[in-house]
Structure 1
């Protein structure tokens, strides 16, 4: 191959090397590196044919135009060498599948390679000694380093973060100083954190490198939480532990592994401290989980008559435990009734007890009774041949089974006592006796139908489909139930009169 043919071929190859990256940018890293290496090997052969060794090129001094051409080919060779070196560095040192902050190390290597390439072009292509240039650039680097000390500290801290990788984009972190949130970006100068207040905190990398940091996403996103509750000192310890345990078991947002625990941690004259420790799957549910737990603790303590401790007050009087009438008044289901009607139904409530593991009602059973919980925790689950799914959990004040008993539909879920449970039950005979003593109760009970659609969604024990009955159909079922109850009551009265 002649010298001129080698120059033409090298020129075409460099044009191809400029155009092809636009096509290969979606290729894997190894494919792009292999492509650049293949072009570089062919270009090296052509450069040797055209100007000799790239480290000692022999340019033609007689023809200035051809000399410039040769120098441009030589510059292209050095740039191609730099691209190959950068590609290999990214292939073996920084993998593209790693998080975004690892690009900092890649960019640093690329900048160093380009700087060395610049010095090589000046020395080998233009035959300019670089000793004085290096000395001058060293002085300039010192001046710039002093002027940009703070920025350089952030940059090198960012490099350290990229190498050590204490956190990655997407991790939940806590930074000393009160910053907590999810890392959304790590660049040369700073780390961007989306906080819980829905804003973005931009923290310099030098601060991140020096501050204490907790990564909630390593090794897992599960986070442990502890809440302290102080109860009156005159309450029985075992009773307090049982009530708090029932409140914990009523929660739905806690992780089952590790299981939550309740422990007495402090005993003083004005109260006893109980620590409730539990885990949550992610910090995003922290606020909701705390709110849920504190709500259940408050409900369980109130229905157990246990008072919170007041600092400086040694003995607290016990709270009044809600009776059956109070439970009906605060119930979502019976709260709409007049007080006289509620009190009448309360007289027919029967107090029952269940041990942990007992079934209050089973899926598919014929509904004969409804329950209003007075204490303890009950789990509502839907059983299928292949899977048992927990729907929700009930605590004191909750009711279940009302819709099923009124509409006559089989229970679509199973209710299991998670702890010892005290409940009030009302069966069909109780409703019949109440109507017999007060016939106007029928009209009052029809008021419940106005809320039937909402209650049917919430009372999953009787919920059979994703399409609740319309209020008109629900009202029809309620009236049918009340008519049967009335007929049963009339028949019973007739039989009694006949005996007489």
Structure 2
């Protein structure tokens, strides 16, 4: 063995050791950097192999020296392994850069297996000089037997490859699979797709089922999902009132997507009822249950305060609901519900009914407090105007109240209240409170009961100033008593 051959074998051996160690140190490198290292190692190693053995595809071993021959065979063996790793690295780099799906792991793994198999046959033939003709025939028979035995599993594997190439869905997508499985894809592997369902379970669906089933991908092109809910109202109710009340209920919701704009339309007309379809969108499927609950709650509330009844199967004319009076609104109010009925009746007599058109302002941020409002019908939007932008804080429907804290504490309104729809409300200002106390002086003691719920009531008033929320309950009690004292001392005409 010449000095040049020996030096080449030593260089190749050292490089093979480095290819076994360095990958452990560069495991966190980018895919392209690892591929570049493998290509560089392959080029240098090929140079050494050519100097020591000639062509890697027709190596010339030293048969006279068994030890040297074994060394040369080990180097040739290592060259084929490095060649396979280099090919796999370039293949994975190409697949990821070209298609960029997370599911390319399945395709790249399959290609890696094919490359390793080719390298194995080359090593058997070129390194150990074992004819592979009989081996290929035998392996073909074995492959047929295994294919028949593993037909179902192989179907899953190749279906997974098809899914990875076509990409009808990916990890993180919200999908609906024929058969009722709906949820977010959390994993796609060789055999199956794992789906986290809305019930917080994990459904494991074989890839051959996913390839054949009809799928709906809620994440393509966006995660926004359109939903429709049908409400059947009594046939004897006025259509225009039904449409306006349902529209107001939809506008009260906070969880619905603003675009596309929700809509209400009549879809069916029968003798025992009229169907109204409420169409809206939600940001994602996870918000569906909460959005539907919110919408149906507002629909029920608006219909009740409008006196509109739901349809009853087989009944052509349904008696309308009783529209809550001002006294009932006070009874159901968080503020005045704890008062005795006779005290509420006195206050109800001094409520002023006020009508607003859509776009009218009930309360303006920064203004001095002058009255509180109880919503009888329609929808109010509460916004915080700051830095030139309007931030929607909350929306109120029938039965909601606002402005009480500011009127009691004397602090300016911290938000603006605007009618989103035609609105009916009851207004109670300082003069009306003073008149009610004059009519029944005992009302002062009853109103002091409200102070016991001071902290809770301040949280329900969405236009209360932030500084009011920082007051101690004792301070709020003092302000309420001072307010009532002033109202009792106020002269009346």
- TM alignment of 1:245-260, pairs within 5 A: 245-260=247-262
Segment of structure 1 superposing worse, 378-387 or 241-250: 378-387
Aligned to 1:104: 106
Aligned to 2:487: 485
In structure 1, what is the Cα distance between the partners aligned to 2:131 and 2:63? 20
In structure 2, what is the Cα distance between the partners aligned to 1:181 and 1:96? 28
Q: Secondary structure at the match of 1:152?
A: helix
Aligned to 1:127: 129
Aligned to 2:36: 34
- TM alignment of 1:363-442, pairs within 5 A: 363-442=365-444
Q: Is the 8 A contact 2:61 2:69 kept in 1?
A: yes
Q: Kindly state the Cα deviation for residue 353 of structure 1 after the two structures are TM-superposed.
A: 0.2
1:271 partnered with 2:267: no
Aligned to 1:187: 189
CA deviations 1:221-241 (Å, max 9, x no partner) are 000000000000111111100
Q: Kindly state the Cα deviation for residue 129 of structure 1 after the two structures are TM-superposed.
A: 1.3
In structure 2, what is the Cα distance between the partners aligned to 1:234 and 1:463? 45
In structure 2, what is the Cα distance between the partners aligned to 1:457 and 1:435? 26
Q: Is the 8 A contact 2:235 2:270 kept in 1?
A: yes
Matched length: 491
- TM alignment of 1:343-362, pairs within 5 A: 343-362=345-364
Q: Kindly state the Cα deviation for residue 138 of structure 1 after the two structures are TM-superposed.
A: 0.5
In structure 2, what is the Cα distance between the partners aligned to 1:486 and 1:316? 47
Q: Is the 8 A contact 2:458 2:469 kept in 1?
A: no
CA deviations 1:191-250 (Å, max 9, x no partner) are 000111111000000111111111101100000000000000111111100000000000
TM-score normalised by the chain length of structure 2: 0.98
Q: Kindly state the Cα deviation for residue 98 of structure 1 after the two structures are TM-superposed.
A: 3.5
Q: Secondary structure at the match of 1:2?
A: helix
TM-score normalised by the chain length of structure 1: 0.96
Q: Kindly state the Cα deviation for residue 126 of structure 1 after the two structures are TM-superposed.
A: 1.2
In structure 1, what is the Cα distance between the partners aligned to 2:456 and 2:84? 70
In structure 2, what is the Cα distance between the partners aligned to 1:101 and 1:93? 11
Structure 1 residues not aligned, in runs of 5+: none
Q: Kindly state the Cα deviation for residue 483 of structure 1 after the two structures are TM-superposed.
A: 1.1
In structure 2, what is the Cα distance between the partners aligned to 1:30 and 1:318? 72
In structure 2, what is the Cα distance between the partners aligned to 1:403 and 1:99? 56
1:75 partnered with 2:77: yes
In structure 2, what is the Cα distance between the partners aligned to 1:162 and 1:466? 58
Q: Is the 8 A contact 1:379 1:394 kept in 2?
A: yes
In structure 2, what is the Cα distance between the partners aligned to 1:97 and 1:462? 55
Q: Kindly state the Cα deviation for residue 467 of structure 1 after the two structures are TM-superposed.
A: 4.3
Q: Is the 8 A contact 2:174 2:219 kept in 1?
A: yes
Structure 2 residues not aligned, in runs of 5+: none
In structure 2, what is the Cα distance between the partners aligned to 1:97 and 1:404? 60
In structure 1, what is the Cα distance between the partners aligned to 2:39 and 2:161? 28
Q: Kindly state the Cα deviation for residue 97 of structure 1 after the two structures are TM-superposed.
A: 9.3
In structure 1, what is the Cα distance between the partners aligned to 2:329 and 2:281? 32
Q: Is the 8 A contact 1:270 1:309 kept in 2?
A: yes
- TM alignment of 1:283-302, pairs within 5 A: 283-302=285-304
Q: Secondary structure at the match of 1:14?
A: helix
Segment of structure 1 superposing worse, 356-365 or 434-443: 434-443
In structure 1, what is the Cα distance between the partners aligned to 2:91 and 2:468? 58
Q: Is the 8 A contact 1:29 1:96 kept in 2?
A: no
In structure 2, what is the Cα distance between the partners aligned to 1:417 and 1:122? 84
In structure 1, what is the Cα distance between the partners aligned to 2:458 and 2:292? 28
In structure 2, what is the Cα distance between the partners aligned to 1:243 and 1:36? 70
In structure 2, what is the Cα distance between the partners aligned to 1:254 and 1:207? 34
Q: Secondary structure at the match of 1:259?
A: coil
Match of 2:453 among 447, 451, 454: 451
Q: Secondary structure at the match of 1:382?
A: strand
Q: Kindly state the Cα deviation for residue 466 of structure 1 after the two structures are TM-superposed.
A: 8.5
In structure 1, what is the Cα distance between the partners aligned to 2:468 and 2:98? 46
Aligned to 2:310: 308
Aligned to 1:114: 116
After superposition, the Cα gap between the structure-2 partners of 1:325 and 1:401, relative to the gap in structure 1 and judged at 3 Å, is same
Q: Secondary structure at the match of 2:490?
A: helix
Q: Secondary structure at the match of 2:184?
A: strand
Segment of structure 1 superposing worse, 480-489 or 316-325: 480-489
Segment of structure 1 superposing worse, 451-460 or 281-290: 451-460
Aligned to 2:324: 322
Q: Kindly state the Cα deviation for residue 459 of structure 1 after the two structures are TM-superposed.
A: 0.7
Q: Is the 8 A contact 2:95 2:104 kept in 1?
A: no
Aligned to 2:211: 209
Q: Kindly state the Cα deviation for residue 355 of structure 1 after the two structures are TM-superposed.
A: 0.2
Q: Kindly state the Cα deviation for residue 463 of structure 1 after the two structures are TM-superposed.
A: 2.8
Segment of structure 1 superposing worse, 114-123 or 458-467: 458-467
1:282 partnered with 2:284: yes
1:228 partnered with 2:230: yes
Match of 2:148 among 143, 146, 149: 146
Q: Kindly state the Cα deviation for residue 99 of structure 1 after the two structures are TM-superposed.
A: 4.2
Q: Is the 8 A contact 1:4 1:50 kept in 2?
A: yes
Q: Is the 8 A contact 2:302 2:397 kept in 1?
A: yes
Q: Kindly state the Cα deviation for residue 136 of structure 1 after the two structures are TM-superposed.
A: 0.6
Match of 2:20 among 15, 18, 40: 18
Aligned to 1:169: 171
In structure 1, what is the Cα distance between the partners aligned to 2:50 and 2:78? 13
CA deviations 1:459-480 (Å, max 9, x no partner) are 1212324843221111000011
In structure 1, what is the Cα distance between the partners aligned to 2:294 and 2:470? 27
After superposition, the Cα gap between the structure-2 partners of 1:68 and 1:466, relative to the gap in structure 1 and judged at 3 Å, is farther
